[in-house]
């Protein structure tokens, strides 16, 4: 009888540990609405003009348009991708790709599009598993639009 109670207690404790360590999962719509809230926390964050979640060629895409200041271009690109990675890791179904459209605040510069592999970007910004050089070489592609 005591052995049964002990086994029952161990099973309950193991299940409780699993429930506590599980992270909350959010729908695509919830993830898309969390992005502007993430940007609102930092007054140096770029201005968001559009947030979308869609499927393209069988891949789930998180798309973000931002207005960039050419003086802080590099930092704003990394901030936006970091925000996307931080929020997207809580999606119920993981994203395959991040698309970032950077619209300059001056007509002298071209609009640029950044395609980033979601898993690799999350590993770089959130978990620090991917070094910056490798991330720049293998995980993102920047092109003028």
What is the mean pLDDT of the segment spanning 77-81? 93
Going from the N-terminus, what domains does the chain have, and what CATH number goes with each? 25-144 (3.30.300)
Phi-psi region of 127 (alpha: psi -120 to 50; beta: other; left: phi over 0): alpha
21-25, 45-49, 84-88, 93-97, range with the lowest pLDDT:
21-25
At 15 the pLDDT is: 72
- CA-nearest of 90, 100, 97, 92 to 121 is 97
- CA-nearest of 106, 112, 107, 88 to 98 is 88
Per-residue pLDDT tens digits for 19-64: 555 567 889 899 999 999 999 988 888 999 999 999 999 999 999 9
Per-residue pLDDT tens digits for 99-110: 999 999 888 888
């Amino acid at each position: 009888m005591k052995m049964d109670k002990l086994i029952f207690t161990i099973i309950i404790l193991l299940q409780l540990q699993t429930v506590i360590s599980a992270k909350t999962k959010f729908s695509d719509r919830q993830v898309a609405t969390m992005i502007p809230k993430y940007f609102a926390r930092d007054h140096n964050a770029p201005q968001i003009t559009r947030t979308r979640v869609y499927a393209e060629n069988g891949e789930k895409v998180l798309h973000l348009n931002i207005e960039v200041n050419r003086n802080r271009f590099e930092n704003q690109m990394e901030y936006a991708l970091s925000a996307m990675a931080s929020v997207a890791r809580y999606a119920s179904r993981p994203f395959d790709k991040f698309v970032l459209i950077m619209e300059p605040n001056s007509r002298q510069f071209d609009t640029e599009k950044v395609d980033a592999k979601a898993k690799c970007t999350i590993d770089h910004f959130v978990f620090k598993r991917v070094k910056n050089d490798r991330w720049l070489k293998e995980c993102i592609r920047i092109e003028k639009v």
